[in-house]
Amino acid sequence: MAGYAIIKLGGKQYVVREGEKLLVDRLDVAENKTFQPDVLFEGGDGKAELSPKGKHVTAKVLGHVQGEKIRIGKYRRRTGYRRHTGHRSKLTQIEIESIGPKRSTAKKEETAEKPKRTRSATTSSRKRTTKTKENS
Indicate the SS3 state at residue 100.
strand
Statement: the pTM of the whole predicted model exceeds 0.85 = no
Q: What angle do CA 88, 92, 98 make, to 5 degrees?
A: 155
Q: Report whether pLDDT(109) > 60.
A: no
Indicate the SS3 state at residue 58.
strand
Mean pLDDT of 94-111: 68
Question: Using an 8 Å Cβ cutoff, are 19 and 96 in contact?
Answer: yes
What was the pLDDT predicted at 118? Answer: 65
Nearest CA to 2 out of 38, 60, 48 is that of 48
pLDDT digits (tens, 9 = 90+) for 32-90: 999 999 999 998 878 888 888 888 899 999 999 999 999 999 999 999 999 999 999 99
Q: Where along the chain do its domains lie?
A: 4-64+91-102
Using CA atoms, how far residue 20 sits from 10, 15, 59, in Å, is 18, 10, 10
Percent of the chain with pLDDT over 90: 58
